[in-house]
């Protein structure tokens, strides 16, 4: 299913799943401090379901509405219109007392860790259980395995000042798991970390999802994070869901301009500058066509470029390329150039149709 937004046809995720979270026609507006009137619409008629047991990414630029969306899940904000349902309960209709019970089933990890400097690793992780009135023996029974799970068993009595950024985030994850939640919310949890530490935290989230069966809703502006860890993704733009679906499908065949623009920032997602400056939009006599070839599925492990050269009977210049994984599936992008002669282009079209290789003309070069 697709719908038209701002003149663009965008993919909508219609897979039948058992949702952990459902947003039903959710709108959220904020009042102007000066006039008291609603002046800013952060979310605009959002409908989306987060499947149970999956790691789902919500991605968008700053101001797209993604953080507002996650604050609706744990009741920190209420929608101006529409419904937010978590595990069968409409949280948007609950009062503060009823929300406390729901929040115990929702874990939260933050960008800046939010640890108490005067408490040890153990005490920071134990804090939600202490607040809930859980006994010391039960706290110890729950906390020690969690600290071991996040790899901090040797730092149980350390204070936050003695920990690295990655270790602090591990404490935050263990604390979020202490109340045995059904849902884990991650709001830009890796944004303050270096790339190596980010990868370690993402691997930990995958382990938690796999071993505990925990649903994870991950809010981020980083395409690399979504690519590495999520199975499904929704792209937000100006308070709306621009497109959504399997992460692999959205990344390999983006429908919305926002998605294409964000993907261009990934390694191999755009042309090198030195060749980009030479690209022209219309062919001229003697020029080459510049194409982006995408390899995935059955085309990922076949020698299609060598077969393309044999098919065309013409040189094929490899300009740039990358091979990667998206949500655990192989994917490659290759920029090539070959003669823009109509006869050569026609042979190439037949080759792509026959082999299933995804090819797109991005311009022409002299």
- Structure tokens belonging to residue 104: 């115990």
Buried b (16+ CB within 10 A) or exposed e, 259-297: beebbeebebbbbeeeeeeeeeeebeeebbbbbbbbbbe
Closest CA to 61 of 201, 248, 265: 265
User: What pLDDT score does 14 carry?
Assistant: 46
- The CA-CA-CA angle for residues 279, 254, 6, to 5°, reads 90
Residue 205: closest CA among 195, 220, 194, 215: 215
Which secondary structure element, helix H or strand E, spans residue 39, and what is its range?
Answer: strand 38-51
Tens digits of residue pLDDT in 89-146? 999 899 888 888 888 899 999 888 889 999 999 999 999 999 989 999 999 999 999 9
Q: How far apart are CA 289 and CA 309, in angstroms?
A: 14
pLDDT tens-digit readout, 74-88 = 999 999 999 999 999
The yes-or-no verdict on residue 9 having pLDDT over 60 is no
Q: Within the chain, what is the greatest distance between any pair of CA atoms?
A: 81
Q: How far apart are CA 341 and CA 349, in angstroms?
A: 12
Q: pLDDT confidence of 336, banded at 50, 70, 90?
A: very high
**Strand (E) or helix (H) holding 77:** none
Structural domains of the chain sorted by starting position, each given as residue range(s) with its CATH number in brackets: 2-105+181-263 (3.40.50.300), 273-365 (3.30.70.260)
pLDDT at 35: 57
Find the distance separating the first CA and the last CA of the chain, reported in whole Å: 41
Q: In this structure, what token pair is assigned to residue 75?
A: 């009741």
Residue 12 has pLDDT above 70, yes or no: no
pLDDT at residue 331, rounded to an integer: 83
Cα–Cα distances (Å) from 160 to 25, 107, 163, 199, in that order, read 41, 20, 5, 21
% the chain with pLDDT above 70: 91
């Amino acid at each position: 299913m697709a719908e038209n937004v701002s003149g663009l046809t965008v993919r909508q995720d219609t897979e039948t799943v058992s949702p952990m979270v459902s947003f039903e026609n959710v709108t959220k507006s904020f009042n102007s401090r000066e006039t008291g009137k609603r002046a800013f619409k952060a979310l605009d008629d959002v409908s989306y379901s987060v499947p149970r047991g999956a790691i789902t990414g919500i991605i968008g630029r700053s101001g797209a509405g993604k953080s507002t969306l996650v604050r609706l899940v744990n009741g920190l904000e209420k929608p101006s219109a529409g419904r937010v349902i978590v595990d069968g309960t409409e949280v948007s209709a609950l009062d503060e007392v009823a929300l406390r019970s729901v929040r115990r089933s929702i874990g939260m990890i933050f960008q800046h860790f939010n640890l108490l400097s005067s408490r040890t690793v153990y005490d920071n992780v134990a804090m939600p259980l202490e607040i809930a009135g859980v006994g010391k023996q039960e706290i110890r029974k729950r906390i020690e395995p969690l600290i071991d799970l996040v790899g901090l068993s040797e730092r149980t009595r350390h204070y936050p000042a003695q920990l690295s950024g990655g270790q602090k985030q591990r404490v935050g994850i263990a604390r979020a798991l202490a109340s045995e939640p059904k849902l884990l919310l991650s709001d830009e949890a890796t944004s303050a970390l270096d790339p190596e530490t980010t990868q370690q935290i993402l691997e930990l989230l995958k382990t938690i999802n796999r071993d505990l069966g925990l649903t994870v809703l991950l809010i981020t502006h980083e395409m690399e994070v979504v690519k590495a860890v999520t199975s499904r993704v929704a792209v937000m733009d100006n308070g709306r869901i621009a497109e959504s679906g399997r992460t692999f499908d959205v990344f390999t065949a983006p429908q919305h301009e926002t998605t294409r623009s964000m993907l261009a920032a990934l390694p191999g997602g755009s042309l090198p500058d030195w060749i980009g400056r030479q690209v022209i939009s219309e062919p001229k006599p003697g020029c080459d066509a510049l194409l982006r070839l995408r390899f995935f599925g059955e085309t990922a492990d076949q020698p299609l470029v060598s077969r393309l050269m044999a098919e065309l009977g013409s040189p094929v210049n490899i300009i740039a390329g990358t091979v990667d994984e998206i949500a655990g599936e192989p994917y490659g992008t290759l920029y090539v150039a070959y003669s823009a002669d109509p006869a050569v282009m026609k042979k190439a079209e037949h080759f792509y149709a026959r082999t299933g290789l995804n090819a797109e003309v991005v311009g022409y070069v002299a």
